[in-house]
């Protein structure tokens, strides 16, 4: 059987998703028997022209990780879309904005001011900030990608066939998804390649959860020694399990760390609203002042509840029915 061609690309991401493919270890050898990776900037030295030289649809699959913040990322995503039969949004940033999309809570100007002007480690007396068109010192025109106002998920700029969230998707998730793709054993287009149930459902600590879960105060992990067996919420430690999709095998929980929500929302589009709903149901305070004290234990609700899903949330993304 001839090998199929595939590409792996990164947009606004940390490289962790590429790392998780490398983490497949020996399993990647079996995949290499079937797949020829023709474009993978993290691991090889290919050029954009190599992709441009391919026929449209010549790539069987492109795994694209990272959110879309610059015009270059959008161009590359569109190029790979044209050359690929299947595009998988790989990792939380591509699926729903991920960590980079937390920047949607700040304006572009505030980000530039901080990064290039105000940061105490900067020395920039001339106030230079990146601009798309400029001249080099010797007078040649220089082009830089445009930095967009908003961080988009991949699905906002191209059609995405499948989504594999995770920060990063772990080896088992990647192996299962790649096998399904190579065997053509796939759910309907647009599906998330993970089960649609909440993390709590497969969490081993679920059994320690009392029938009536109540929280007196929210505790930060740095202030307490977390019990290794008990449900985190029952200890007053914020755990995103109730609002987060299952499928990771709960490695964080097993490492005695609460879920931070990287697989995105379950059964809904808006993870944050869902988490607010879950927490409101289990608090104990009933008087206004007690509720205020309780909620002071969550200093950054938007950043906590939408840590990985800002771009797909209702409020933290552009209205998708209205083109900017």
Task: Give the interface with another protein as residue ranges (CB under 8 A).
Answer: 103-108, 110, 149-151, 268-270, 272-274, 276-277, 279-281, 283, 285-286, 288, 291-292, 294-295, 298, 300-303, 305, 313-319
Look-up of token digits 């691991």: 43
Minimum CB separation of residue 1 from another protein in Å reads 45
Minimum CB separation of residue 180 from another protein in Å reads 30
The residue among 133 and 287 lying less far from another protein, judged by its C-beta, is 287
Residue 61 is classified by DSSP as E
Minimum CB separation of residue 64 from another protein in Å reads 21
> What CA–CA distances, in Å, run from 229 to 168, 223, 254?
25, 18, 9
The residue among 105 and 197 lying less far from another protein, judged by its C-beta, is 105
- Are 218 and 271 in contact by the 8 Å Cβ rule? The answer is no
The residue among 18 and 270 lying less far from another protein, judged by its C-beta, is 270
Q: DSSP for 134-189? A: EE-TTS-EEE---EEEEEEPHHHHS--SEEE--SSPPHHHHHHHHHHHHHT---ST
The residue among 168 and 261 lying less far from another protein, judged by its C-beta, is 261
The residues near 97 (Cβ < 8 Å, ≥ 6 apart) are 67, 104, 151, 152, 153, 308, 309, 310, 311, 312, 316, 317
Question: What are the beta bridge partners of residue 135?
Answer: 141
Nearest to 177 by CA among 224, 79, 247, 282: 247
The residue among 137 and 286 lying less far from another protein, judged by its C-beta, is 286
CA-CA-CA-CA torsion for 7, 13, 16, 20, nearest 10 degrees? -30
The residue among 27 and 108 lying less far from another protein, judged by its C-beta, is 108
Minimum CB separation of residue 311 from another protein in Å reads 8
The residue among 13 and 313 lying less far from another protein, judged by its C-beta, is 313
Minimum CB separation of residue 145 from another protein in Å reads 18
**Helices 171-183 and 27-34: angle between axes, nearest 10 degrees:** 20
> What CA–CA distances, in Å, run from 280 to 163, 203, 273, 293, 294?
30, 21, 11, 14, 11
Minimum CB separation of residue 243 from another protein in Å reads 10
Minimum CB separation of residue 274 from another protein in Å reads 6
């Amino acid at each position: 059987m001839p090998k199929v061609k595939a590409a792996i690309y990164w947009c606004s991401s940390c490289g962790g998703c590429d790392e998780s493919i490398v983490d497949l270890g020996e399993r990647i050898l079996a995949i290499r028997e079937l797949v020829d990776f023709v474009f993978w900037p993290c691991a090889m030295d290919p050029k954009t022209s190599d992709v441009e030289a391919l026929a449209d649809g010549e790539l069987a699959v492109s795994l694209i990780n990272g959110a879309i913040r610059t015009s270059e990322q959008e161009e590359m995503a569109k190029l790979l879309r044209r050359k690929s039969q299947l595009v998988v949004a790989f990792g939380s940033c591509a699926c729903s904005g991920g960590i980079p999309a937390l920047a949607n809570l700040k304006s572009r100007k505030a980000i530039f001011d901080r990064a290039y002007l105000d940061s105490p480690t900067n020395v920039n007396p001339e106030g230079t900030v990146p601009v798309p068109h400029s001249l080099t010192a010797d007078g040649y025109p220089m082009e830089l990608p445009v930095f967009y106002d908003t961080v988009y998920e991949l699905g906002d700029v191209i059609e995405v066939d499948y989504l594999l969230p995770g920060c990063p998707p772990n080896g088992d998730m990647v192996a299962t998804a790649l096998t399904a793709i190579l065997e053509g054993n796939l759910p309907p287009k647009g599906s998330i390649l993970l089960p649609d149930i909440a993390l709590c459902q497969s969490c081993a600590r679920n059994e320690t959860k009392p029938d009536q879960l109540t929280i007196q105060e929210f505790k930060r992990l740095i202030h307490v020694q977390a019990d290794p067996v008990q449900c985190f919420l029952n200890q007053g430690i914020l755990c995103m399990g109730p609002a987060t999709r299952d499928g990771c095998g709960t490695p964080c929980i097993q490492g005695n760390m609460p879920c931070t929500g990287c697989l995105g929302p379950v059964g809904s589009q808006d993870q944050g609203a869902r988490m607010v709903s879950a927490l409101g149901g289990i608090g104990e305070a009933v008087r206004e002042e007690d509720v205020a004290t309780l909620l002071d234990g969550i200093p950054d609700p938007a950043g906590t509840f939408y840590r990985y899903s800002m771009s797909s949330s209702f409020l933290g993304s552009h209205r998708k029915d209205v083109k900017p």
